[in-house]
Amino acid sequence: MKTLKFKLYQHKRNRYLKGMINASGVIYNHCIALHKRYYRMWGKHLSCAKLQSHIAKLRKRNSFWQSVGSQAVQDICQRIDQAYQLFFKHNKKGVRPPGFKKVKKYKSFTLKQAGYKFLGGNRVKIGSRVYQYWNSREIEGKIKTLTIKRTPLGELFMVVVVDSIDEPKIKFTTSKIAGFDFGLKTFLTCSDGSKIESPQFFKQSLNAIRIANRHHSKKLKGDAPNVANASLSSNRERARKNLARAYEDIANRRSDWFWKLAHDLTNRFDVLCFETLNLKGMKRLWGRKISDLALRDFLDILEWVALKKGKLVVYIDQRYPSSKTCYCCGHVLESLDLSVRRWRCPSCLSVNDRDENASLNIKRVGSSTLGVGDVRQSQTAISV
């Protein structure tokens, strides 16, 4: 599968799409309420088929709900059912059941086979109205789903999922393999000795975020339809958008840096070895620093770029003591405090840098997990 994202032109008719998203939010909350009521009455989980059948009957009597396509309503029921299945399976790991959402913060609805039609150029028909979008790339392949997403700034994007073109087989072009170790101060330490510092985009913009947040919190809410309260409400909405714009700027800069870094690494190496991470545990220890690094987002982008270029991303078990194992002789320390950045091996007396030693061990273990066919292809060119 391949996902393409297009921005819709700003137009007054976009209010119909925003109304469909609001209606989807109302249906979502109603489905959550039905799930909770059904469990209180019968002590059982409400199946997706029963929920879809009941919502279809209610939709016939509600004109507001009819603004959302039937397939979009079915997708909402399927999303909720999948969320409950994950909760039943992983509730002991801290996964929570789906809950209510504010309608104005509800983000999207999804259409599958029907409800939309591409008219050529940069026009798409959704429902009975035609919308224009920034046609930044051609849509190739069979379209599977179309999703309309709303950002906190009120902008609309169209996300199209298509059948991907045949995935390329793994091809070794640079004949190099590398291991990488994540860090707090140094984003990545490579086994070839190079280091990539983290820009820490959130930390750079923290003062601007605090100022925008303070301005938003000081604005009063205005709910009554008189002129004074309307002015208060518009001021608060303007402050909210300024805060959302600051967060969006951080996310865009971070994403741009991730894409450039992923292309750079895949151009330099054919096999990239990483260690799996316990992000929840790391967030409990370091909190905002881990969120600012966004390690999972970077790995998702890297996997996509590697797949597109025919490169390989390998993961090793997080329980492997990569930092405590001496790369020269294989001696394993009993304990190694996080404050210790360099240590001397008691066996071979070599001095090891914590991050560089870990990246070398990750490279060695990761290369050992390659398939036999991959090793035969690269055994003459790749030195491990």
- Taking only the tens place, the pLDDT of each residue in 289-334 is 888 888 899 999 999 899 888 888 999 888 888 888 888 887 888 8
Counting the structural domains of the chain, the total is 2
- For residue 143, what are the domain limits? 2-162
Of 162, 190, 223, which one is at a domain's C-terminal end? 162
Do 267 and 157 fall into the same domain? Answer: no
The verdict on 75 and 113 lying in the same domain is yes
Distances in whole angstroms, Cα of residue 141 to Cα of each of 131, 145, 162: 21, 12, 6
Q: Mean pLDDT over all residues of the chain?
A: 85
Task: For residue 364, tell me if it sits in a domain.
Answer: yes
Which of 331, 312, 311 minimizes the C-alpha distance to 321?
331
Whether 106 is in a domain gets the answer yes
Residue 205 identity (one-letter amino acid): S
Stretch among 99-108, 132-141, 205-214, 220-229 having the lowest mean pLDDT: 220-229
For residue 167, the model assigns a pLDDT of: 56
pLDDT mean over 4-33: 94
Q: Residue 210 domain-assigned?
A: no
What DSSP character marks residue 46?
Answer: P
Q: Name the amino acid, one letter, at 308.
A: K
CB within 8 Å of 244: residues ≥ 6 apart: 151, 152, 153
For residue 379, pLDDT beyond 70: no
Q: Verify that 154 and 192 share a domain, yes or no.
A: no
Question: Does residue 8 sit within a domain?
Answer: yes
Same domain, 191 and 153: no
Query: SS3 for 183?
Result: coil
Pick the last residue of a domain from 115, 136, 162.
Answer: 162
Other beta carbons less than 10 A from residue 377's beta carbon: 18
Q: Is 228 within a domain?
A: no
Q: Are residues 193 and 322 in the same domain?
A: yes
Question: What is the C-alpha separation between 76 and 295, in angstroms, rounded?
Answer: 29
Q: Is residue 373 part of a domain?
A: yes
**129 in a domain, yes or no?**
yes
Considering the domain boundaries, does residue 10 fall inside one?
yes
pTM over 0.75: yes
Residue 61 sits in the same domain as residue 100: yes
- As given in the structure block, the two tokens for residue 50 are 């029963």
Q: How far apart are the C-alpha atoms of 12 and 55, rounded to whole Å?
A: 30
Amino acid at 159: V
d(CA 252, CA 290) in angstroms, rounded, equals 18
Same domain, yes or no: 190 and 156: no
pLDDT at 376 over 80: no
Of 129, 339, 359, 105, nearest to 244 (Cα)? Answer: 105
Q: pLDDT tens, 232-269?
A: 578 888 999 999 999 999 999 999 999 999 999 999 99
Q: Is the domain of 8 the same as that of 142?
A: yes
- Asked whether residue 215 carries a pLDDT value surpassing 80, the answer given is yes
Instruction: Return the SS3 of 343.
Output: strand
Residues 283 and 365 in one domain: yes
79 and 110 housed in the same domain? yes
158 and 197 together in one domain:
no
- End-to-end CA, the chain: 33
pLDDT of residue 373: 37
**CA dist., res. 31 & res. 16, Å (int):** 22
**Cα–Cα distance, 182 to 274 (Å, whole number):** 8
| Edge-to-edge order in the sheet of strand 143-150 | 2-7, 156-162, 143-150, 108-111
* Phi, psi (deg, nearest 5) at residue 266: -70, -25
Whether 189 and 308 share a structural domain: yes
